[in-house]
Amino acid sequence: MRVVSGSAKGRPLKAVPGTGTRPTTDKVKEALFSMIGPYFEGGVALDLFAGSGGLGIEALSRGMDKAVFIDMESKSIDVIKENLRKTGLEGQAEVFRNDAGRALKALAKRGALFDAVFLDPPYRLKHGDELMSRMAELDLLCSEAVIVLEYESGHEYPESFGPFEQVRKAVYGETTLSIYRFAAKQQDDTEHTEAGMEKYGIAESGGEDHHD
């Protein structure tokens, strides 16, 4: 694994030892950021179920101001910190060992607010939509936030629910990426939608991309 682009381009990233984590491949990572960026002019990212921290680090490398990394495994926390040191991005990061639910509550108490969320729970867990709804309830999301949900291709998440709307979906073999937009107000707001899409370089698309 490596940083694909940006200020830390080409820097190698250490993987978490063992088989308990499933890092996003460089191919999928590059495609993901092409859909939501590819570069950013500031902002704060949340890398939940961070594993090796590859997605949050990529976001920092591509221009995010700050990233918060959450994982409940101590070995993942150690790897995230090492990868941040290797890329020189540790000054823009906070790393916490906690499970997802408690972490979201703690972040809400601190008044955290995120422009982008990378959500890559273990494939055995099918509660990505529940976590997103919880983030909305806790007021953790900017009104134009983008949420990247990575999951097993055999599973289906709704195209829209609550204040979330799926704007892109791409299948890469066993991995599917769904890109959601968060709207603080659920009623239609064309101007707001266009601003959010322009901010993150996302074009409205009802289609689905498939890749081998």
| Cα–Cα distance for residue pair 116/179, rounded to 1 Å | 10
Looking at residue 194, its pLDDT comes to 46
Task: Name which of 28, 16, 26, 20 is nearest 53 in CA terms.
Answer: 16
| Cα–Cα distance for residue pair 25/84, rounded to 1 Å | 18
Looking at residue 84, its pLDDT comes to 98
Q: Tokens 């309830």 map to which residue? A: 137
Looking at residue 19, its pLDDT comes to 56
Dihedral sign, CA of 184, 169, 130, 95?
negative
For the chain, percent of residues with pLDDT exceeding 70: 85
* Residues in the chain, pLDDT under 70: 19-21, 185-212
* DSSP 8-state secondary structure symbol assigned to residue 134: H
| Cα–Cα distance for residue pair 208/70, rounded to 1 Å | 30
Looking at residue 9, its pLDDT comes to 97
Looking at residue 21, its pLDDT comes to 67
List beta partners, residue 94: 68
Q: What is the CA radius of gyration of the chain?
A: 16
